[in-house]
A and B are shown apart, each in its own frame.
Chain A
Amino acid sequence: MMDDLRELYQEVILDHGKNPRNFRHPDDANREAKGENPMCGDRFMVYLTLKDGVVDDVAFQGRGCAISTASASMMTELVRGKTAAEAEKLFHAFHELCTQDEPDIPEGVDDETMEKLMVMSGVRQFPVRVKCATLAWHAMNAALHGEAAASSDQF
């Protein structure tokens, strides 16, 4: 039981939750989308700077729990430098990891990235927290597609 908690709140997650990376609003961002979970009031803005189809910069701002904040922070580290297509693939891989006991991971995600994504997979044991973990990722995906907001109904 407490093992599940340790699995969910791994040191990396606690660290990213407390000291989120890329917690800022880049001046040159050319895409942004809001992610909101009306149930708990968590709300993030995700900013992308897309240059020639590559995520040149990615950052976020907002307020949320340790899980959603850490996930957003880790997302920014993983997505930067990826092409839009790769970033979208990561979104799907992450979504699978958080929701499926036997995740169907799209091809072409390298092992190192997978390992980093895996850190969040403890959330599977806590179904009500899955939305926290995927919130910023949904917003990132919405921004990629030029949408203004990710609706939590999709999560």
Chain B
Amino acid sequence: MSDAILNQAYDVQRVREDFPILARSVHARKGKPGKPLVYLDSGASAQKPRQVIQAMTRFLEEDYSNIHRGVHFLSQTATDQFEAVRAKVARFLNAPNDRCIVFTRSSTEAINLVASSYGRTFLNEGDEVILSIMEHHANIVPWQLLQAEKKIVIKVVPCDEDGVLDMDAYRNLLSDRTKLVAITHCSNVLGTVTPAKTIAKLAHERGVPVLFDGSQAVVHGTVDVQDIDADFYVFTAHKLYGPTGLGVLYGKYDLLKKMPPYQGGGDMIESVSFEGTTFKAPPSRFEAGTPPITEVIGLGAAIDYVEALGRDAIAAHEHDLLQYATQQLSQIDGLRIVGTAPGKGPIISFALEGVHPHDVGTIVDQYGVAVRVGRHCAEPLAERFDVGPTVRASFGLYNTREEADALVQSLQAVKEFFGA
């Protein structure tokens, strides 16, 4: 299908009606109406459609109970619904089966799980882990903790001025000492989508497993973990229009099977005695304690929601917004966009000459425009581009060209304010 046809079919106004929060205004004061909310911070966390909110409410009102441990009716009902979402997530990522899907609290916890369970078991002093310059702190700090404990070595793949990953440097970093590669599939600052399939292929030629941080990537396009041949793939529900408190770890079953538990507790054991405890097979082995049951139901509804809209249609809509917004922003004097890789996701980070991002954020907020300012949990990257903090506008499936215009207008106001 061509973009034009997809875009015609995509009725963003209709979509917006699904998101109750988008109807609100902000900064209303006694007697004075507020400004309509222009939410351009979905990269930090996406808003939730009524379908997700209602699915969670319905579950709590009708079917809620603890799972995996009751013989009673509700426990069985809740368990069935919970496990059905595991199967849905497997389909969503095109994982071979639902045993490869582990529920965690977040992307952060999923990466910590791999660093802790896989890393502490299979990595030793002098072994190398390859990361990239554009990682979120969630995919840096767990490896540094491991570095402190096991004396592993961290290698970092750089990127070029556009924010494209330097694949020659990556090839050169891969060596006999490399024991794991952990790289983002889409940068939360630059929007760069990395060539996951090639990254995995090159690592696999040396027998090295690869983890992808898909926190941003699953939101903006279709991900096929088997096609990429990812060994581990993580994402977080709240950026995918689902609830907070829930993440997903996909792992190849052969790897998961070799890995010891991450946390101990109920639900992950076969039998417990003080002489010795035996653990369940994955994914249960990694899901100690009561999981975020209602949130899992919410994620199921979120996946249904984006699939009903069509992931290609969403991607086409967001691509249109990205191009439009980039074009409009580029016309502002003194505005520098950081991250111009071809095929990037709908994330635009920029600096405005003469005005600190913090001041930009405060002023555009008064116009109802919600953006993120700062270093976006990716400090090494800010150093790389020598920009310090930036302003980030990130677009989601509900944003419109008019909202991009509102951003541009509010930035004009910033410039007037500062005479920049």
Report A's interface with B, CB cutoff 8 A: 1-2, 4-5, 8-9, 14, 39-42, 63-69, 126, 128-129, 132
Contacts and interface: CB of A to CB of B under 8 A. Distances in A.
Nearest to B374: A40
Given A1-B27, A9-B417, A40-B357, A63 B362 contact: no
A51 to B, nearest CB: 34
B418 A67 contact: no
Contacts of B379: 41
Which 3 pairs between the two chains have the least Cβ-Cβ distance?
A65-B356, A65-B358, A66-B359
Interface string B369-404: 000011100010010000011000000000000000
A69 B379 CA distance: 21
A4 B366 CA distance: 9
Interface string B5-32: 0000000000000000000000101001
Contacts of B417: 5, 9, 14
B389 A66 contact: no
A26 B366 CA distance: 39
A49 B324 CA distance: 54
Contacts of A63: 388
A41 B357 CA distance: 11
Given A2-B366, A41-B375, A66 B355 contact: yes
B157 interface: no
A1 B29 contact: yes
B363 interface: yes
Contacts of B35: 1
A129 B35 CA distance: 21
B27 A126 contact: no
Contacts of A64: 356
A149 B356 CA distance: 23
Contact of A41 (B27, B362, B382, B418): B382
Q: A interface, by DSSP: helix, strand, loop or mixed?
A: helix
Contacts of B356: 64-66, 69
Q: B interface, by DSSP: helix, strand, loop or mixed?
A: mixed
Contacts of B388: 41, 63
Contact of A40 (B34, B373, B419): B373
Interface residues of B, number: 23
Nearest to A132: B358
Given A4-B366, A9-B417, A126-B362, 19 more contacts: A1-B32, A1-B366, A5-B362, A5-B363, A5-B366, A5-B417, A9-B359, A40-B357, A41-B374, A41-B382, A41-B388, A42-B358, A65-B357, A65-B358, A65-B359, A66-B355, A66-B418, A68-B358, A128-B362
Nearest to A129: B362
Contacts of B382: 41
A38 to B, nearest CB: 9
Contacts of B375: 40-41
A2 B32 CA distance: 12
B38 to A, nearest CB: 15
Contact of B389 (A1, A41, A67, A128): A41
Nearest to A5: B366
B383 to A, nearest CB: 10
Nearest to B34: A1
B24 to A, nearest CB: 15
Nearest to B418: A14
Nearest to B355: A66
8 contacts: A5-B417, A9-B363, A14-B419, A63-B388, A64-B356, A65-B357, A66-B355, A68-B358
Nearest to B388: A41
Contacts of A2: 366
Contacts of A41: 374-375, 379, 382, 388-389
Contacts of A68: 358
A65 B362 CA distance: 11
A41 B351 CA distance: 14
Nearest to B35: A1
Interface in B325-371: 355-359, 362-363, 366
A35 to B, nearest CB: 15
Contacts of A40: 357-358, 373-375, 389
Contacts of B418: 14, 66
